[in-house]
Amino acid sequence: MGLMNYLRNRAGVVIVGFIGFAIVAFLLGDIINYGTPFWARHQNEVGSVNGEAIDINTFNAQVDQTSEMFRQQMGGGTLSPQMKSWAVQQVWSQYLNRELLKNEVERIGLSVGKTELNDLVQGDNPSMQIQQAFRNPQTGIFDRDQLNTFISQVNMLPQGHEAHGQWEALLQNIIDERLSTKYTNLVSNSVYVTSLEANDAYNQRNKLANFEYVLLDYQSVPDSAIAITEQDYKEYYNENKGVFKNPEETRALEYVVFDASPTAQDTARVRANIEELKIQLAETKTDSLFSAVNSDTKYPYIFRKQGELGPSLDTLIFNAPVGTTVGPVLANGRFEIAKVVEAVVGPDSVKASHILLNPAIEGGMDKAAAKADSIKTLIENGESFAGLAIQFSSDEGSKINGGELGTFGRGMMVPAFENAAFNARKGEVVVANSQFGIHIIKIEDQIGSSRFVKAAIIDKQITSGRETLEAAYRQATQFFGEIGNAGFQEAATAQGLSVLKADEVTAMETMLMGVDIPRDLVRWAFDADKGDVTDKIYESENHYIVARLTGIRKEGQLPLEVMKSDIEDEVRKRVKAKKLIAQAEEAASGANSLAEIGQKLGKTPQAAENIVFANPVIPGVAQENAVIGTVFGLQPKQPSKPIRGSQGVYVVEVNGFVNPEAPTDLSAQKQQLAQSLSQRIWSLAFQALQDKADVVDNRARFF
């Protein structure tokens, strides 16, 4: 009773259940493992962790459920590719984290018992997922009555109903979150900060260094004045070899985008359409049906309180008389109109109890109705409602509480039940029929009073018309045809087109520089050879795309040849640094101070004051870790050796240090460091689990 309406209206917060446990994966980043070719993997497995596979049908069911929640949260309509991709990522992250953590919690012996789970759901301090999912929309505070109402309604539905799956999914995520918290606490409690560490950290943030420096900027050496050798590349690569590991296989593309976004003419066309629909909406006698058929977004036909719709439409609806058709207004790329069908002033929420009679059990609708009238009479004559509910109600969830449903707002119950509850008076007993049976309802309380409006709403997305699409496609076709004769870059230059580049395209990519890309374009990229041009013109919602594959980066250690173009700038700096260091060393020969060195180099020493080790920035220059690290290891009034920095080669001389007062109590310092370390240790521990695990990700084959 009202459960699906409730879920639709609460979808935005129920999603929190899915987001809670997946949040760790988003913080830790992608941990996707591509090892074997797509075609060589198990055909029906979307992936596996340590040999535990997940079937595509099971995975798809979870993706569909999550996508539906997203769709309901957005008011209906079709999900964008990005939202669908997010649903896939969310389900994958949830599965991946659960599997990675499962072996650990089983090995350690962690669990969540029935009593603990019940406390997390209905205890004095329930899970944040429960608190967020069952907040009172008026106060924003957790509403225990809403939770009890929800559980009661779930229990009324037969096993196998989709609502049971949604509730079980939320419960499972509460369990997962609890296990994750327990594991996190175990890891975090392993952290210990010594007094020596705390004192060192205190000094790093509070000890001040005042020094002078001479900078020989890399830009002072022309590129033409140096020559980069193969040995230079090898030296840099070998020093930084650990950095050049690719966590997953990627592709590099150059591509041209042909924009087919809606034009002013398209906007005018959609506006003319919505204006015509406004005339028809004003005349129709079947408001809800007409709006449902003609609207891009299927808005629920319910009473709404002011503030629940977009600002422009909301203002119009609540200022218009009943029977008025308002709009169109433009919001988020859509034109919206609405017809005010009904307006009432009534309670914001109702607290009620009910007794549910099932006609199938009672021998038919007539007998059930007669029995309902008899029970109503008994109640009005002083019989205990709670006692009669325990005796007669078929709602197993609420009868144990004497029929109590708690407090609920508008839109949370099926229409027949809602109308009866909100139109009656406090203390009144009424009978109402719904698809669940016959209800004897007692109005315990009515809370608040507001104006509510029921409106039939129609919106139309501004989309590109045929002329716009055909013009962009003609341009794409012309370019595509010229590539074979002139080459990709040459054909683009000849037509005045911009060639864009994307260097690290993953197998699950959905956007390139803010432009939606079709999934089949990415699949093509992972099947193509370097230098191949797309086999066709690919189409997204408002764009046509032609691309060329310019690079392939396998998972794992990347060879020097692949990395050369990426490291060229840094290698060039290294070569320039050698030249500048030689100049600085020559100037330092026979010099006793930085001033003398600067004079030989034609440089005036610059001052840097009040610098701390924890923030290694030279004001007005850059972050220079090596330079500041060297400064705090020098003796005053002694010029340093040349230091290779990020912006150039430095020679520094410390004028003096300002030591802070010794801390009297290191407790706060220890606590702060422990918290920081706990967060890092958890991330490192989880990363270790990922690195140790055998993760196979086949999602790109299916999505």
Residue 39: Cβ within 10 Å count: 8
Residue 24 counted as domain residue: yes
Of 553, 569, 590, which closes a domain?
553
Same domain (yes/no): 216, 272: no
List of long-range contacts for 105-111, beta carbons under 8 Å, 24+ apart: 105/179, 105/182, 105/183, 108/183, 108/186, 110/179, 110/182, 110/183, 111/179
Statement to judge: residues 307 and 353 lie in one domain: no
Report the C-alpha gap between 632 and 635 in whole angstroms. 8
For residue 665, tell me if it sits in a domain.
Answer: no
Residues lower than pLDDT 70 in the chain? 1-42, 71-81, 137-140, 157-158, 160, 162
Q: What is the pLDDT of residues 605-618, one digit of tens each?
A: 999 999 999 999 99
For residue range 493-536, list pLDDT tens digits in order: 999 999 999 988 998 888 888 788 888 899 999 999 999 999 99
Q: Residue 626: its pLDDT value, please? A: 96
Cα R_g (the chain), whole angstroms: 34
Question: 593 and 501 share a domain?
Answer: no
- Residue 336 and residue 311 share a domain: yes
Report the pLDDT value the prediction gives residue 280, as an integer from 0 to 100.
Answer: 95
283 lies in the same domain as 181 = no
Do residues 137 and 219 share a domain?
A: no
The answer to whether residues 70 and 180 belong to one domain is yes
Answer yes or no: do 19 and 156 share one domain. Answer: yes
Same domain (yes/no): 59, 158: yes
Residue 653 included in any domain: yes
Domain final position from 500, 531, 553: 553
End-of-domain residue from the set 509, 525, 553? 553
At residue 673, the pLDDT reads: 87
Segment 317-321 long-range contacts (CB within 8 Å, at least 24 positions apart): 317/453, 317/455, 318/451, 318/453
Residues 316 and 371 in one domain: no
Nearest to residue 132, comparing CAs of 300, 306, 11, 307? 11
How many degrees, rounded to 5, is the angle at CA 52 between CA 49 and CA 53?
90
Domain membership of residue 198 (yes or no) is: no
Please name the residue that has the structure tokens 């959905």.
Answer: 510
Domain contains 676: no
pLDDT given at position 73: 61
Residue 321 DSSP code: P
CB atoms under 10 Å from CB of 118, counted, come to 11
Judge if 90 and 236 occupy the same domain. Answer: no
pLDDT given at position 336: 95
Q: Phi and psi of 17, rounded to 5°? A: -60, -40
Other Cβ atoms closer than 10 A to 492: 21
Task: Give domain status of residue 663, yes or no.
Answer: no
Assigned domain for 46 exists: yes
The number of domains in the chain is 5
The boundaries of the domain holding residue 326 are 264-346+457-461
Sequence-ordered alpha helix ranges (H) in 2-158: 3-28, 56-73, 81-108, 114-122, 128-133, 144-156
Question: How many Å apart are CA 350 and CA 680, to the nearest integer?
Answer: 48
The answer to whether 397 touches 152, Cβ cutoff 8 Å, is yes
Q: What angle do CA 513, 515, 520 make, to 5 degrees?
A: 110
Residue 381 sits in a domain whose CATH number is 3.10.50.40
Q: What CATH number did the domain enclosing 495 receive? A: 3.10.50
Which residue in 301, 310, 354 sits closest to 328, CA to CA? 310
Kindly state whether residues 55 and 172 are assigned to the same domain: yes
* 77 part of a folded domain: yes
